[in-house]
């Protein structure tokens, strides 16, 4: 099973992939509307918002948690 290189989400179904394209290494949540992968900053801000909403952290704490999560993922290793 493939995992999204940008957020770590397991991609089981075709619709989990960006544009429904199983050749892609990232999921639909990490894709822009045109199907290309989001940049580090775009993903960081969406992940930060997600953590604020789901875990109730303030923006600074959520941003640090998001950075720590992203540091482990292959897409952002060079950042
Ligand atoms: Zn993803």
pLDDT of 1-55, one tens digit each? 899 999 999 999 999 999 999 999 999 999 999 999 999 999 999 999 999 999 9
Global pTM exceeds 0.75: yes
CA 58 to ligand 1 center in whole angstroms = 23
**Residue 5 alpha carbon to ligand 1 centre in Å:** 7
Q: Please report, for residues 42, 57, 77, the alpha-carbon distance to residue 33 in angstroms, rounded to integers and kept in the order given.
A: 13, 28, 24
For 8-62, give the DSSP string. --EE-SGGGBGGG-TT-SSBGGGB-TTSPBPPHHHHHHHHHHHHHHHH---HHHH
- Break the chain into its structural domains and give their ranges: 2-76
């Amino acid at each position: 099973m493939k995992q999204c290189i940008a957020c770590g989400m397991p991609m089981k179904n075709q619709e989990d992939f960006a544009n429904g394209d199983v050749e892609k290494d990232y999921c639909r949540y990490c894709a822009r509307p045109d199907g290309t992968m989001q940049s580090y900053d775009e993903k960081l801000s969406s992940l930060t918002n997600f953590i604020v909403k789901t875990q109730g952290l303030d923006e600074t704490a959520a941003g640090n948690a998001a950075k720590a999560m992203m540091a482990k993922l292959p897409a952002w290793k060079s950042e």
